[in-house]
Amino acid sequence: MQNAGMAALGLDWRYVACEVRPSELREALAGAAAMRFVGVNLTVPHKLLALEMMDVLDESARRWGAVNTVRFEGRDGDGAWWPLGGMADDAVTAVRMHGFNTDADAIVRSIREDTGLSLTGAKVLLLGAGGAGRVAALRLAVEGVSELWLVNRTESKAAEVMAEIGRTVPGYGGRVRLGYPEGRVDLVLNATSAGLKSGDPMPYDSVQFDLGRATAAYDMIYRPAETAFLGAARAAGCRTANGLGMLLYQGAAALEIWSGRVAPVVEMRAALWTHVYPERKGV
């Protein structure tokens, strides 16, 4: 996805995957800076560890409490900081790390574009309170959903997320509740990992909630392309979407942060499809 995006922008950059032990993250980031990397993406568990390693935190990283995108920046002879991707190496007098988070906005952008739902004022049932569920809950509150129902296998974690919304989204005017709603919802959002493997249980309790009461269903899981949850939602008449758009948009936003250019989303989506669903044809 990133290499396709960089090629479409005519950038002579390459995106590579590196496995880094959490205990060596600091050294790995320093090494990337020394090698004049333009930036890096981080995944679990590095997103949280990197927070305190950044020289500068963007509002997005501070707000969502995690860094998934780092931009290396160089200081020029006048003391101004610029993205390293646009600097000649001999102009760089020092390098710093600037941390961002592009995950949270990607969730709402994908839900909006892939299900056609307007989230402001919507009633949402959110399944899961792990890393992704927590960020989704906070971002949905900021988006102004009118009701947010939180369900998690370990209920205390859903309660913690509810408390965090109270602390960090103080002007939030909607209602947050633990458990299943009685009436209809606009969206049921799976942010659990139940469904990644065949034989996994459903992420919700079908006795307490009937998918026929939801207008749309979104599963953050994108492989398999249709989980048992999404299949059941489709059979119940819901509009459905999987998490591929979320993956796409967090990456597109990262490329924009590194390059300062508008990401070529069409080319990036096509590359994602080819690599995530090699057995399928067409986008």
Which residues participate in catalysis according to the annotation? Answer: 47
Closest to ligand NAP by CB, 132 or 238: 132
179 binds ligand NAP (CB under 6 A): no
Rg (CA), the chain: 20
Closest to ligand NAP by CB, 1 or 132: 132
112 binds ligand NAP (CB under 6 A): no
Nearest approach in angstroms of CB 36 to ligand NAP is 28
Would you give the DSSP letter of residue 189? E
Closest to ligand NAP by CB, 74 or 101: 101
Q: How many CA atoms lie within 13 A of 162 on its CB side?
A: 19
221 binds ligand NAP (CB under 6 A): yes
Interface residue with ligand NAP among 68, 69, 192, 240 (CB under 6 A) is 192
Residue 18 contacts residue 42 (beta carbons within 8 Å): no
* DSSP string computed for 207-262: TT--GGGEEEEEES--SSSS-HHHHHHHHTT-EEEETHHHHHHHHHHHHHHHHSS-
Interface residue with ligand NAP among 50, 104, 191, 216 (CB under 6 A) is 191
134-163 binders of ligand NAP (CB under 6 A): 152-154, 157
Name the amino acid, one letter, at 34.
Answer: A
220 binds ligand NAP (CB under 6 A): yes
* DSSP string computed for 20-69: --GGGHHHHHHHHHHTT-SEEE--TTHHHHGGGG-SEE-HHHHHHT---E
Nearest approach in angstroms of CB 91 to ligand NAP is 36
Residues of this chain that bind ligand NAP (CB under 6 A) = 44, 128-133, 152-154, 157, 191-194, 196, 200-201, 203, 220-222, 243, 246-247
